[in-house]
Amino acid sequence: MKKATTASSCIALSLLASTALPVFAQANYPERPIRLIVPFATGSATDSSARIFGMQMASQLGQQMIFDNRAGAGGAIGMQALAKAAPDGYTIAYAGAGPLAINRSMSSNLPYDVEKEIQAISQAISSPLLLAVSPTLPAKNVKELVALAKARPGQLANGSAGTGTVGHLAGEYFKFLSKTDILHVPYKGGAQAATDAMSGFVQILFDPTSSLSPHVRSNRLRGLAVTGPKRIKAFPDLPTVAESGVPGYEVTTWGGIVGPAGMPRNLVARLSDEVQKAAKAPMVIERYQALGSDPVGTTPEQFTEFIRKEYLKWADVIKRAGLNK
C-alpha cells in the first residue's frame, strides 16, 4: 500500500512540472482537440458529470473535447493510461474519490501512483450521497434506522455498487460512528443494488443523488437524509445525517480534472482557470444543482490538499473495516 508521507508528497502531486515543452509550443494552447479520459463506463455517474464539465470547457477553449471512456478495475485502467500519457495538456482525465483517494488503500499493487504520476488540476464538483432505505423497512428517519440496526445486529444490509466504492465505505463509516452492526452486500452496479432495495432484499443504500433521486421521488425508495455538510436544493426537506443523530458524519462524492505528472506549470494553471470558470457557468450550475451537486473549481494546490485529506479519511475507514489488501 502506498502511504501518504510528508508535505513533500503533497507538493509533488500539485506542483510537479517541467519545461520539456518549448514555450512557443504552449503559447497557442490548445491547438488541437483534447482527450478527456473517463475511467468509468459511458452512462455512469462519473461519465455524466465529466461530460457536463468537458463540454463547457471545450466551449471555453475553442477546441473539441474527445471523451475516452477507459472503464475497469475501479478506475485503475483509465488512470494508468493517464499516467503514461505525454504531459503536454492534450490528455487529461476526470476522476473522483475511488481512483484518487480510495484505491490506494484497497489495493497494494495499483498500476499507477497518485502522488508521483498524477497532477492535480482542479476539483470540479462536490455532491452528497443520499441515504435511502427500502420501503419495507419501518424506519422513517436516521434515529429510527440506528435504533432498528442496534435491535437487529447484523440483520440489516447495506447494498452497494461494489466493495470499496463510496457507497460501501459510506456505509462502513456510518456503522463506525453510529456503533451499529450492518451487513454489506456488494453488487456489480448501483442499479442492481437499488432494485433489490426496492424489493427489500437489502434495506439500506448510500448512493449519489443523481442515481437515487428518481426512485426517492417516486416513493420506490424512502429518502432519510443526505450525507453532506448541508441540506441540498434538490431535497430541501431531507436533513443531513449529522443533524439526524450521527454527529461528525460527512461523506461526499466528488470529481475533478487531473493530468499526468510533469505538465508545465502554465498549462496546469490555464486548465485550472478553465475549470474554475466552467464551475461558474449558468448551464453547469443549473444541471448540477438539478442532480443535487455543487460545482466547485479550485486551484491545483487546493485540490492536492483535498485529495490528501480524503485519502487519509478513507484509509482510516478501510483499516477499521479490515478491507486492506
Mark which of 244, 279, 301 sits at the end of a domain: 244
Residue 151 lies in a domain: yes
Residue 1 lies in a domain: no
Domain identity same for 222 and 268? no
Domain identity same for 221 and 144? yes
Among candidates 116, 67, 138, 60, which has minimal Cα distance to 297?
A: 60
Q: Quick one: pLDDT at residue 16?
A: 43
Q: Which domain holds residue 89?
A: 7-127+252-320
Q: Quick one: pLDDT at residue 2?
A: 45
Domain identity same for 62 and 104? yes
Domain identity same for 123 and 262? yes
Domain identity same for 123 and 138? no
Return all residues near 77 (Cβ < 8 A) that are at least 6 apart. Answer: 39, 70, 71
Domain identity same for 22 and 118? yes
Residue 200 lies in a domain: yes
Question: For the chain, which ranges sit under pLDDT 50?
Answer: 1-25
Mark which of 244, 273, 288 sits at the end of a domain: 244
Ranges of H-type helices in 141-298: 142-151, 166-178, 190-199, 209-217, 265-279, 282-290
Domain identity same for 302 and 288? yes
Domain identity same for 136 and 193? yes
Q: Quick one: pLDDT at residue 20?
A: 44
Residue 314 lies in a domain: yes
Q: Quick one: pLDDT at residue 45?
A: 82
Residue 325 lies in a domain: no
Domain identity same for 210 and 236? yes
Mark which of 223, 244, 265 sits at the end of a domain: 244
Among candidates 34, 50, 12, 13, which has minimal Cα distance to 255?
A: 50
**What domain count does the chain have?**
2
Domain identity same for 107 and 39? yes
Domain identity same for 114 and 133? no
CATH number at residue 179: 3.40.190.10
Query: Is beta strand 91-96 parallel, antiparallel or unpaired with respect to 252-260?
Result: antiparallel
Residue 2 lies in a domain: no
Phi and psi angles of residue 35, each rounded to the nearest 5 degrees, phi first: -90, 125
Residue 257 lies in a domain: yes
Q: Quick one: pLDDT at residue 26?
A: 64
CATH number at residue 106: 3.40.190.150
Domain identity same for 147 and 240? yes
Q: How far apart are CA 252 and CA 24, in angstroms?
A: 41
Q: How far apart are CA 260 and CA 229, in angstroms?
A: 31
Residue 29 lies in a domain: yes
* Tens digits of residue pLDDT in 220-272: 999 999 999 999 988 999 999 999 999 999 999 999 999 999 999 999 999 99
Q: Quick one: pLDDT at residue 189?
A: 83
